[in-house]
Amino acid sequence: MREKKRVIFHMDMDHFYTAVEEREHPEHKGKPVVVGADPKEGKGRGVVSTSNYEARRAGVRSGIPISRAWKLCPEAVYLPPNFPLYIRVSNEIMEIARKYADKFEQWGIDEAFLDVSARVKDYAEAESLAKQLKREVKEKENLTCSIGIGPNKLIAKIASDYQKPDGLTIVKEDDAEAFLAPLPVRKLLWVGRKTEAKLKNRGIFTIGDLARYDPTVIAEAFGVMGTQMHLSARGIDRSEVETRTEVKSISHETTFEEDTADAEAVLKALDSLAAEVAKEAVGQKLFFKAVTVKVRYENFETHTRSKTLAFITNRLQDLQKTARDLLKAYLKNDRKIRLIGVRVSNFVKGEKQKTLA
C-alpha cells in the first residue's frame, strides 16, 4: 500500500526583528535598519542580530561583529533588541498560523512547520491555503513571511528560503531532487561549516553532488549523520511535524567591554547570565536538563561545552554550578576571552512535574 502523500508548509518571517521595528517605527522604513549590540560609532562590541534587506545589500548580516556593520553601513538605523516585543508578536503570529494546520510545530522565534495534508487535496489547494495564511499575517500583523511547500519538512524548509522576502515556493515530490541538486550542500540541516569543508575535500559542493556520491562511503566517513545527510540530499525526510509550541532553548550571552583573562570577572558575568536564563525558564515554567556554555576568545575562536544533567531543574544554583564547571576548562590557559554565553535546553514543561520539590 502506498503511503498517503504529505503536504508540509514551512513559514519563515522576513527579517523578523527589523520588520517588527519598522512596523512600530514607520519613520525607519526605506532606510537600512540593524538590530543588535550598540555600535558605539564603530567601537562597539557584540554582534548583529538581524538586518533589513536594505542593510543586507550593504553586506550587513546576522552574526557579523557590530563594528564591521558600522564600517559597512554607518548610515543605518541601529537599534537594541526589544525581546519582549518580538516574543509577543511571535506568539500572535503562531496563533494565526496554528489554525491552518492539523499538526503545527514552532521552530525558533519566527518559523513554523505546518502539516496540512488533511486539508488540501492537491498542490493547487495548498497554494491558495498558503496565500490565505500570508494574507492573514499581513492583515493582522502588518508583516510579511515566506512560505515553502513540499512533501516533507526538509524540502519545505529549503523552499521557504528560496524566494525571500514575501515568497511562496512550491516543490512537488517529483521535482524535489532536481530542485535540490544545484543548491550548495550547506543548505542541508546536517551540514555545518566543518562538514561542508570535509565534503568539499571530496569534490562535493552541491546537494546534487552528494546525492550522486556512494552512500556507503559517506556513511563510513560521517557515521549515522552521513546516512541521514545522504538521504536528505535525495530529498528524503520522514520526520513528522510534531505538535509542540515550546521554545527549544533559552540563552543569553555577553561580549565584554574589553577582552579579559580575569577568571573571577568571567565567572561573575557567567553567574549573571545564568540568572537571566533561569529567570526566563522559571517564568515560562520550563525545567531543563541540558546546559551549554559558549566561549569566544579574543581571536574569535569559539567553543561550546554541554552537560546533560541527571535530573531536570530550573533552580539557579544548579544552573550556576553546572555552567561554572563547564566554563572552568576554558579559564586554565590565561587566554583572553571576548564573549561568553549560557544556554539551557531539553525542556520539560512544568505542569507535568508536579512532584518536583
**Vertex 244: Cα angle to 187 and 7 (nearest 5):** 55
Name every residue whose Cβ is closer than 8 Å to that of residue 279 and which is 6 or more positions away in sequence.
none
Q: Tell me if 127 sits within 8 A of 175, measured CB to CB.
A: no
Measured CA to CA, the distance from residue 204 to residue 252 in angstroms comes to: 36
Site string for ligand TTP, 13-32 (x = CB under 6 A): xxxxx---------------
Q: Does 50 bind ligand TTP (CB under 6 A)?
A: yes
In the complex, the smallest distance separating the C-beta of residue 310 from Mg ion, rounded to whole angstroms, is 36
Residue 190 C-alpha cell reads as 546536517
- Which one among 58, 62, 127, 275 touches ligand TTP, defined by CB under 6 A? 62
Measured CA to CA, the distance from residue 217 to residue 117 in angstroms comes to: 36
Residue 164 binding target from Mg ion, ligand TTP, none, CB below 5 to 8 Å by type: ligand TTP
Note the Cα 224 to chain centre separation in Å: 23
Residue with cell 498560523: 97
Q: Which residues bind Mg ion (CB under 5 A)?
A: 12-13, 16, 110
Measured CA to CA, the distance from residue 340 to residue 327 in angstroms comes to: 9
Catalytic residue among 111, 136, 139, 253: 111
In the complex, the smallest distance separating the C-beta of residue 46 from ligand TTP, rounded to whole angstroms, is 11
Is 22 known to be catalytic? no
Number of residues that bind ligand TTP (CB under 6 A): 14
Residue type, 214: D
Q: Does 251 bind ligand TTP (CB under 6 A)?
A: no
In the complex, the smallest distance separating the C-beta of residue 176 from ligand TTP, rounded to whole angstroms, is 22
Residue 207 C-alpha cell reads as 546537494
- Which one among 3, 26, 27, 63 touches ligand TTP, defined by CB under 6 A? 63
Residue 282 binding target from ligand TTP, Mg ion, none, CB below 5 to 8 Å by type: none
Tell me which residues in 165-194 interact with ligand TTP (CB under 6 A): 165
Taking the least distance from each CB to ligand TTP, the nearer of 17 and 287 is 17
Site string for ligand TTP, 140-169 (x = CB under 6 A): ------------------------xx----
Q: Tell me if 110 sits within 8 A of 13, measured CB to CB.
A: yes
**Vertex 107: Cα angle to 153 and 351 (nearest 5):** 120
- Which one among 58, 94, 109, 231 touches ligand TTP, defined by CB under 6 A? 109
User: CA-CA distances (angstroms) from residue 352 to 75, 104, 285, 312, 356?
Assistant: 50, 21, 10, 12, 9
Taking the least distance from each CB to ligand TTP, the nearer of 36 and 226 is 36
Name every residue whose Cβ is closer than 8 Å to that of residue 281 and which is 6 or more positions away in sequence.
250, 287, 288, 314, 344, 347
Taking the least distance from each CB to ligand TTP, the nearer of 252 and 305 is 252
Q: Which residues are marked as active site? A: 111
Q: Which residues bind ligand TTP (CB under 6 A)?
A: 12-17, 49-50, 62-63, 109-110, 164-165
